[in-house]
Chain A
Amino acid sequence: MPRWRSVWLVARREILERGRSRGFILSVTFTTLIVVGSFIVPALLFGEDKATKVGIVEPAPAALSTAIESTAERFDQKVAISTYPDAAAADAALAEGAVDVVVTMPADLSGPGEVRFDKQTDPGTAQVVSAAMIGLRVGAVLGASDVDQGALAGAQQPPAVGAREPQTEDDQAKFLVANIGAVLILVGIFSFGFTVLTGVVEEKQSRVVEVVLATVRARDLLMGKVLGIGVLGLVQLIVFVVAALVAALVTNRLTLPTTTPGAVALLTVWFVLGYLLYSTALGFLGALASRMEEASNASTPVTMVAMISYFVAIFAVIDDPSGTVATIATFLPPSAPFVVPLRAAFDAIPAWQIGLSALITIAGIWVLFAIGARVYAGAVLQVGGRMKLRDAWRSAGE
């Protein structure tokens, strides 16, 4: 019997047994609901840019509300003004969220007044309201003199504020997609890599592995298991991405960047590579354990490497997408699956680097698999306690 058939039978068994399980169906349904929900709920709640609610404590200068409104307009903000008979009533409104900010100012402009927020000062609003209040008092002082009122109004025009290279919505969306991608890869590696781990331990614990290995080669069993569970991971990823894209388009929350199809393809490729790398490692480390509790200990090094790789990727790429750290991390198999999609999102990686990184990662997977298959073969039939990596390697020499 050809080996591929043996591998295929193992993979198919994993797909059918796990794919039909309530756990898998629930997790796919759940993630889809969460994704769709995270797009639809904010769309319902924050349909439009809402006005800042300003509460004015009476007595206040008659021109205050007009001044705030006109200043806000100049700053391109919306305000909704209400008045309260005293400070206590205004504070109560502030506490229950009926207003975002409370403004107190002596009606005769004898003092600078006060701008009060509930918990946190919102600098934008503070700036608008303060400018209006200062304008009122300055206007009153200057109004008494013979200043040109037109020139005065002109002088109060705020300067143009803006970034040198404004981050477009496209950039933001790209970064968001990439960031979600890195998280998805991490979550995918953990959830499906650990499915491989527990699958290996379960087979060992239920002793079925001795029956299986009487006909199936250990490396074929490991490969079939990794591939079968990988197919389920890919299904979950595709469902997730499609749900997110459809929800984004329908709710119009996110203007999808033109690079989306490429980003999704890159994400899928690196999800697959990252999964293969980490699940192979988890699979053969699982074989060293004879009980579930030991398995989580045995897997700690892999978990650590994955977490460190993820954080290095995030920090290095955000710091400088084409910097030395990011470039080195691109060519290390454990970090490549996180770094490459992130750098690509910033358009900060040349195509040759993506290709080379993929080749290095594939080579890494192959080496890990060759080592892993031998350790797996040596360890998976041993019972009683956790086995040492070296003993497993020795006992399976071919």
Chain B
Amino acid sequence: MLEIIDLAKRYGPVVALDGTSFTAHPGRIVGFLGPNGAGKTTTMRCIFGLARPDRGEVRWKGTVIERDARLRFGYMPEQRGLYPRMRVAEQLSYFAQQHGLSGKAANAAAMRWLERMGLADRAKSKLEELSHGNQQRVQLATALVHDPELLVLDEPFSGLDPIGIATMTEVIRERSAAGVGVVFSSHQLDLVEDVCEDVVIIARGQVVASGAIEDLKEASGRQHLEVEIVGSDGAWLDGQTDLTVLEHSGDRIKLLVDRSVDLDALLARARAAGEVRMFAYQPPKLSELFMEAVAPDEPTAEVA
């Protein structure tokens, strides 16, 4: 279990982290979300000792992380980077050895991952000779080559084509199923919804929402209702105060309703208005949860 406990970090006048806390369990893929500048990268850097928090600590399996624990972690930083002129297989082997593998085991692991990434024939190429997408694959392989217990990926999907995204998704799911802890950040919320079990949403250096995606949706005060009534112009909704019309096109109306709404009564009113073709009650999308969570508590006036 990865525990982020009350991390705080300032860079001069800029507050990067302001009491960030959350927990990630192996076997459950965690999506780490937040607007730009919210503190995602700083949190990840704290896990790897690349940034020194002013306050708080990071624990893995109950103990504060030291270098030996970090050797069993895999990291893919947001700013991708490898040695451009180093041969691909040697590069992977080098990083595997830096994580404690013997030379022989490292070479074998490097080849295994190159095969897995479909790059076995490029083993002796220099990294800079590979296409952008293939360099990204090598970067992922670098994070995985030593069979880590915890995988931390900063924006792993950015810059990937659909095939790359499929490979990345597959690898993340497979590692998680194998009991590896996986935390990754992303702005592609549909992907996160698809891949993750848990999410942590961070804004202004603090966690504003965290937990299983299902639970968060369930707990959200804002549920979606889509209703289609033949020949209705929506007049049946007049007087209803606990809902908001999101979209109205033809016979179809999309509504945002409070959890407290009496669905039975609403359905009865809809039936009275005409022939009900559709009455679909849906939880909100992750992107909506996200927008809701990261919205400033008190909206600040913006001067144009």
Q: Given contacts A6-B98, A17-B85, A208-B83, are A215 and B71 in contact (CB under 8 A)?
A: yes
* Chain B residues, Cβ within 8 Å of A211: 75, 77, 81-82, 95, 142
* Chain B residues, Cβ within 8 Å of A396: 52
Of A1, A9, A17, A213, the contact of B50 (CB 8 Å cutoff) = A213
Cα–Cα, bound, A215→B145 (Å) = 13
In the complex, B86 has a CB within 8 A of chain A: yes
Cα–Cα, bound, A273→B75 (Å) = 37
* Chain B residues, Cβ within 8 Å of A216: 98
Whether A214 and B50, one on each chain, are in contact in the complex, defined by CB atoms closer than 8 angstroms, is yes
Q: A23 CB to closest chain B CB, in angstroms? A: 11
Whether A208 and B82, one on each chain, are in contact in the complex, defined by CB atoms closer than 8 angstroms, is yes
* Interface size grouping (class) on chain A: 20 to 34
* Interface size grouping (class) on chain B: 20 to 34
In the complex, A13 has a CB within 8 A of chain B: yes
* Chain B residues, Cβ within 8 Å of A217: 67
Whether A9 and B94, one on each chain, are in contact in the complex, defined by CB atoms closer than 8 angstroms, is yes
Whether A215 and B94, one on each chain, are in contact in the complex, defined by CB atoms closer than 8 angstroms, is no
Q: A3 CB to closest chain B CB, in angstroms? A: 9
Q: A25 CB to closest chain B CB, in angstroms? A: 15
* Chain A residues, Cβ within 8 Å of B97: 9
* Chain A residues, Cβ within 8 Å of B100: 1
Q: Give 1 or 0 for each of A206-231: 1 = CB within 8 Å of chain B CB.
A: 11111111111100000000000000
Q: A213 CB to closest chain B CB, in angstroms? A: 6
Q: Given contacts A1-B71, A215-B70, A215-B71, are A210 and B81 in contact (CB under 8 A)?
A: yes
In the complex, B113 has a CB within 8 A of chain A: no
- Interface positions of B from 28 to 80, Cβ below 8 Å from A: 45, 48-52, 67-68, 70-71, 73, 75, 77, 79-80
- Interface positions of B from 82 to 104, Cβ below 8 Å from A: 82-86, 90, 94-95, 97-100
Cα–Cα, bound, A210→B152 (Å) = 13
Q: Give me the interface of B with A, judged by CB distance under 8 Å.
A: 45, 48-52, 67-68, 70-71, 73, 75, 77, 79-86, 90, 94-95, 97-100, 142
Q: Give me the interface of A with B, judged by CB distance under 8 Å.
A: 1, 6, 9, 13, 16-17, 21, 203, 206-217, 381, 383, 395-397
Instruction: Name 18 extra pairs, CB < 8 A, besides A212-B98, A214-B50.
Output: A1-B71, A1-B99, A9-B97, A9-B98, A16-B90, A17-B86, A206-B84, A207-B80, A207-B81, A210-B79, A210-B81, A211-B95, A211-B142, A214-B48, A214-B49, A214-B73, A216-B98, A381-B50
26 contacts between A and B (CB under 8 A): A1-B99, A9-B98, A13-B86, A17-B85, A206-B83, A207-B77, A207-B80, A207-B81, A210-B75, A210-B79, A210-B81, A211-B81, A211-B95, A212-B98, A213-B48, A213-B50, A214-B49, A214-B75, A215-B71, A215-B95, A215-B99, A381-B45, A381-B50, A381-B51, A383-B79, A395-B52
